[in-house]
Structure 1
């Protein structure tokens, strides 16, 4: 949309800012367009120095949105639109700074050493050594005891299910589990 052509059709030139006393014969839209033509570039320069380039257009648009929705703009427009627009621009930038501060504050959390330190290498080595010792103990168990122990602890089967699968009594499964657990307990005591 070319504003120069439309302004020329209405009898307004880009370089013709109109003071409030001359606005009586024009519609509110023409008045706002005249104010935009007169003060839009000033606001653009103001925001370019103080805000990221990608936000300049949005900030200018927000200034004029607030200007057109103000009570003074609805009745006879504001007598000094430049002052109103500059104050609106300052308020927008202040609001933006406060919002950025709240966002940054919300993004920061307390630093807890245990949360950021990572895994303890000594604890990892001890765990790995314990697992290796337990695997050795389980490997040394008699085949029937080892099978029953693995069915219960690894596969999660109950004593009744193991007894049915192995063709033995539940009491026999309990004795085999007691043997396996006793061997593991003894190896842990020896490892200390």
Structure 2
């Protein structure tokens, strides 16, 4: 039996993940995903050292989880990112708790942990939506934005573009399909 093929880049910049499958698979995932995971974490934290620590801990949790399972983790990249999000959330909670214990006064209104997590998730979702919008054909993107952002009706868009209303509907449906298919992928 031959070893699993290394991940390959897809058109969307993600890797074609294979399951972890033992120490060699874990090493390969570490080599292939470490820098991307640190960049992912750094988007949420300005301190690169902390991002490196969180990434290291995420890989440790991946290894521990792999040992505890009878089957390999099917999507290790997604697993690592979710663990990183959870670790960031936990660190935000513990930092907030330590500040309260030390009775450190906050000059600015403290952002609750739930608000911080919501902000991070919204930022991540927006980045995925923007990436999908950039992959749309210009005509599809223009029609979709005219309808969704400018509030134009299908008839108004059809008049402006010289298309039929049915053609506009098809372009909107194409855009929605792309967004629904790709926006939730991680």
- TM-score under structure 2 normalisation? 0.44
User: Higher relative contact order at CA 8 Å, sep ≥6: structure 1 or structure 2?
Assistant: 2
**Larger Rg computed on CA atoms:** 1
- TM-score under structure 1 normalisation? 0.42
